[in-house]
Chains A and B, each alone.
Chain A
Amino acid sequence: MSLYDELGGEASIDAAVGIFYRRVLSDAYIKRFFEGIDMEKQAGKQKAFLTMVFGGPNNYTGMDMRVGHKHLVEKMGLNDTHFEHVLAHLRSTLAELGVGSDKIQEIINIADSVRDDVLNR
């Protein structure tokens, strides 16, 4: 059984997106990357991403991640440190949802696997 099903499917992803997105926007170090963007579209993308890392139905290819972050890497200097902040927020989101530490590490590893796509390497 995937964590996606274990957590309760789509409803759990909605809850996770709310917590995760609020954490990211409260982080002064990375919030500038989220300024002036369409919050609904962003929440949709986060939902698709979290569905993927939770092992739910997805169609992840990495292309969207590359295209979506390219200008942030080139124009705003998005780098590993910023990426790690986001991972940390994902970690605390999962903890807040009551996910066990082994599972959290498993999910973080999956999330970390998109690092090169996000940073366009």
Chain B
Amino acid sequence: MPMITFDGHDYDCHQGETILESLTRHGVLVPSACGQGVCQTCLTKAVKGKPPVESQKGLKDTLAAQGYFLTCICKPEEDMELAIADVSKGSVGITVIEKQMLNESVMRLRFQCDEKIEYFAGQFVNLKHPDTDLVRSYSLASLPEDASLELHVKRVPDGQMSGFLHETLQVGGRLSLDGPAGDCFYTERDLDQSLLMVGVGTGLAPLYGIVRDALQHGHRGDIHLFHASLAKQGLYYVDALNALAKQHENVHYIPCVLHGDVPEGGQQGDIQQLVQAAVPQLAGWRIYVCGDPEIVNGLKQTCFMAGASMSDIYTDPFV
């Protein structure tokens, strides 16, 4: 009889009983609605134990890869520990090993971790201020096998964390992070699928990881990477991305600006309209959109209306 650990308590699960039924029988109320594995209201993460494959039906592949499942159709085969919200995996100490400005306001920070953390390229971590209880999320631009973690931090006017990271923290300085978290990353399910990636501002950071991760997996389909900024000064990694596009003929890099000078090979205008004009039909495509939440949500809808399936749209809105 498998035991289910949730919120510090153990609950037994009868033969043939779902986790939702077991928890309900024990008087533990968790969110649920359809009871049929359809509406996904009861989505829960297994932090220990492997959920049966049937309990992950219909889930986005990036959620299933992280151990998410549906309690209402999960008949556990082994002991499992659950977390409703994405729990912290505990803090890891990190040391700054590089600070480098990428443009006038975005800094690349590289960190060495005290212990290796497992992540998918494109996930985010929560940085903790060493002296206050301030926490901010930043997406990883590095690849899991890299020796260090790479984050892109934009200096925000009056921003406490970005001010600390840009101005106070020095190379050799210490802080801690928890995570990783997030479901915007590459999975190897169709190497020939066309990929659309749109990053706004430092929304390029996760995409810089995801695009290289896709290529490492041997992705063969076309990859269209749009990087949007208000003006040319806000773009960065232009040379690196042009080099990547030159090296891989399926990679197309399109720097976009709302105002002013347009970089070579780039476009000017509203990013949603530029994407719509460049790729009006997205049926069968896989989409990654990261950055400003308003633009991300707008593009998510635009891409869905252009034919992309909801299960093929991955987003990381920077809230």
**Chain A interface residues toward B at CB < 8 A:** 10, 13-14, 17-18, 21-22, 25-26, 36, 39-41, 43-45, 47-48, 51, 56-60, 64
Contacts and interface: CB of A to CB of B under 8 A. Distances in A.
A22 B305 contact: yes
29 contacts: A10-B58, A13-B38, A14-B58, A14-B309, A18-B310, A22-B305, A25-B305, A26-B305, A39-B297, A39-B300, A39-B304, A40-B40, A43-B310, A44-B38, A44-B39, A45-B39, A48-B33, A48-B34, A48-B36, A48-B38, A48-B39, A51-B38, A57-B38, A58-B34, A58-B36, A59-B33, A59-B35, A59-B36, A64-B33
B304 A44 contact: no
A39 B34 contact: no
B304 A21 contact: yes
B301 interface: yes
A45 B41 CA distance: 9
B39 to A, nearest CB: 4
What size tier do the contact residues of chain B reach? 10 to 19
Given A40-B310, A44-B41, A51 B305 contact: no
B296 to A, nearest CB: 11
B285 to A, nearest CB: 14
A90 B287 CA distance: 27
A23 B218 CA distance: 37
Given A18-B309, A18-B310, A40-B310, A51 B36 contact: yes
A21 B303 CA distance: 13
B200 to A, nearest CB: 18
Indicate the member of B33, B38, B58 with the most A CB atoms within 10 Å. B38
Nearest to A42: B310
**Closest 7 pairs between A and B when the two form their complex, measured CB to CB:** A59-B35, A48-B39, A48-B34, A44-B40, A48-B38, A57-B36, A44-B39
Nearest to B309: A18
Contacts of B304: 21-22, 25, 39
A76 B297 CA distance: 22
Contacts of B310: 17-18, 21, 39-40, 43
A43 B308 CA distance: 13
Contacts of A26: 305
Interface in B94-142: none
Given A21-B310, A44-B40, A48-B38, 13 more contacts: A14-B58, A18-B310, A25-B305, A36-B297, A39-B310, A40-B310, A44-B38, A51-B34, A51-B38, A56-B36, A57-B36, A58-B38, A59-B33
B173 to A, nearest CB: 38
A10 B39 CA distance: 12
Contacts of B40: 40-41, 44
A40, A58, A60: which has the most chain B beta carbons within 10 Å?
Answer: A40
A31 B312 CA distance: 22
Interface string B286-308: 00000000000100110011000
A113 B57 CA distance: 29
A42 to B, nearest CB: 9
Interface in B198-245: none
A44 B310 CA distance: 10
Contacts of A58: 34, 36, 38
Contacts of A47: 38-39, 58
